[in-house]
């Protein structure tokens, strides 16, 4: 199949194809990947969005449904709001407990919202099997790829191998969806 036909087939019907801007290419937000077409002897080079998170990629590829996406997104947002990730973030709607509270996440919570998010995240984390927590969080919270998980010594290689990582992630997301009481038709 010629490259022009593949590009047309890859574009969503009725929507214009969005190419990366020169700024996105300069900051390496897009990567090049080779796709092998069975009808063509040469591989085709396509651009891959590197800024999309794992949960969104899984949802768009129909590997997970909306219910599992909502559970993973809630788990991730509670983690990010809790302040455990030690990043500088702007807090527009939250006021700190102290007038000189720092804008970065320290060891103590900076607001009541942050304290609530920590408690929600800890309760949800206790629902997951202890052997799977590290690998699951590397996939969902830190957006690592499965090949990177195999290099970490504390990750269970059987549960997060190339063939079993998606099934393990779906199992953990299902446990979170039942913990958050997200209905099946969500």
- Reported as type and span, the H/E element at residue 162 is none
Does 36 share its domain with 109?
A: no
Q: Between vectors from CA 56 to CA 26 and to CA 79, what angle results, nearest 5°? A: 95
Does 147 share its domain with 61?
A: yes
Does 90 share its domain with 151?
A: yes
pLDDT band at residue 168, thresholds of 50, 70 and 90?
Answer: very high
Domain-embedded: residue 113: yes
Instruction: Give long-range contacts, CB 8 A cutoff, 24+ apart: 83-90.
Output: 83/109, 83/110, 83/114, 83/117, 83/118, 84/118, 84/121, 85/141
CA max distance for the chain: 65
pLDDT at 186 over 80: no
pLDDT at 69 over 50: yes
Domain-embedded: residue 75: yes
What is this structure's pTM? 0.65
Q: Which residues does 74 contact at the CB level (< 8 Å), separation at least 6?
A: 124, 176, 180
Instruction: Please tell me the predicted confidence (pLDDT) of residue 151.
Output: 76
Q: What is the pLDDT of residues 91-119, one digit of tens each?
A: 555 555 444 444 444 466 667 888 899 99
Domain-embedded: residue 90: yes
**DSSP 8-class letter at 88:** B
Structural domain including 142 reads 54-179
Does 71 share its domain with 27?
A: no
């Amino acid at each position: 199949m010629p490259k022009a036909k593949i590009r047309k087939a890859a574009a969503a019907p009725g929507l214009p194809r969005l190419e990366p801007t020169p700024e996105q290419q300069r900051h390496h937000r897009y990567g090049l990947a080779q796709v092998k077409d069975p009808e063509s002897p040469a591989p085709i080079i396509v651009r891959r969005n590197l800024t999309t998170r794992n949960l969104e990629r899984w949802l768009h590829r129909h590997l997970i449904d909306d219910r599992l996406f909502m559970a993973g997104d809630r788990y991730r947002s509670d983690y990010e709001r809790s302040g455990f990730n030690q990043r500088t973030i702007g807090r527009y709607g939250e006021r700190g407990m102290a007038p000189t509270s720092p804008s970065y996440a320290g060891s103590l919570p900076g607001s009541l919202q942050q304290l609530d998010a920590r408690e929600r995240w800890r309760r949800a984390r206790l629902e997951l099997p202890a052997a799977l927590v590290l690998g699951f969080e590397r996939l969902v919270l830190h957006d690592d790829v499965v090949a990177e998980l195999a290099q970490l010594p504390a990750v269970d290689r059987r549960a997060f191998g190339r063939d079993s990582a998606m099934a393990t992630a779906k199992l953990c997301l299902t446990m979170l969806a039942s913990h958050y009481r997200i209905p099946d038709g969500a």
